[in-house]
Amino acid sequence: MRKKVLAANWKMNLLRNEALDLYSNLDLALLNFQEIETVLFPPSIYISELQTKGNLSLGIQNIYFENKGAYTGEIAAAQAKSIGCTYVLIGHSERRELFLESDDLLKKKVNSALAENLKIIFSCGESLEVRTKKDHLSFVKKQLENSLFHLSEKEILNCIIAYEPIWAIGSGLNASEQQAEEMHSEIRYLLAENYSNKISEQISIIYGGSCNTSNAAQLFACPNVDGALVGGASLDKFSFIELAARLK
């Protein structure tokens, strides 16, 4: 059976005390949802003050692909692991667009993360322009082929795929159930085609993009939506706990 996953991307938000406060409001509450894997992606400078507990894991929002050396400001996978991370987020559209991260760079980050036994939430998704041209399925297919599908069966099982249409991120305009299910079932088909049905059925595919307490129930009811990667709504403890309750 596939894991249900609820992940929180805090991005570059929250001062230290606010982050510690939010965490302390979530850690015990999330223990009530043992059947869900919850992953928090706080700003990296706070991670060593937080703890992995039960079904609550910590992840880093970004890594560099080199192991160590003269890369001012960057963080290696092994360093993230050494402060308690079990996950890394790779391929977020903000990294792709604002920091010009290419499919090739993302592939190197994927390899580096897995070499250090970090699990990956790999984000993919199309712009509005691509969707308007009805090229969204082939666009996402290329993203996955270019950065993820070189992995072995054993390696891909350490990945969760997040479908995050760029037009839905932070816009208040979520994908409809039909749009989400169309893409999630296509991704599952691609996993079966590149690996096997058995592998495809084991990999969680989560949705991201303005997911909140008003639309989560409909999205989570889609057969191929196994959870969510949440930005804005993850900064409010009540919303995030309610999302966990909806996913349960």
Residues annotated as catalytic (active site), given as ranges? 92, 164
Using the contact rule CB under 6 A, the part of the chain among 70-78, 99-107, 204-212, 213-221 near ligand PEP is: 204-212
Binding residues for ligand PEP restricted to 107-166, rule: CB under 6 A:
164
Q: Is 91 in the site for ligand PEP (CB under 6 A)?
A: no
The length of the chain in residues reads 248
Farthest-apart Cα atoms in the chain, separation:
47
Residues 18-45 as b or e (16 or more Cβ within 10 Å = b): ebeebbeebbebbeebeebbbbbbbbbe
Which of 231, 240, 241, 246 forms a contact with ligand PEP (CB under 6 A)?
231
- What tokens appear for 190 in the block? 């691609």
CB 169, min distance to ligand PEP, A: 4
Of the pair 43, 202, the CB lying nearest ligand PEP is at 43
CB 235, min distance to ligand PEP, A: 9
Q: Is 230 in the site for ligand PEP (CB under 6 A)?
A: yes
Using the contact rule CB under 6 A, the part of the chain among 44-52, 153-161, 193-201, 202-210 near ligand PEP is: 202-210
CB 152, min distance to ligand PEP, A: 27
Q: Which residues bind ligand PEP (CB under 6 A)?
A: 9, 164, 169-170, 208-211, 229-233
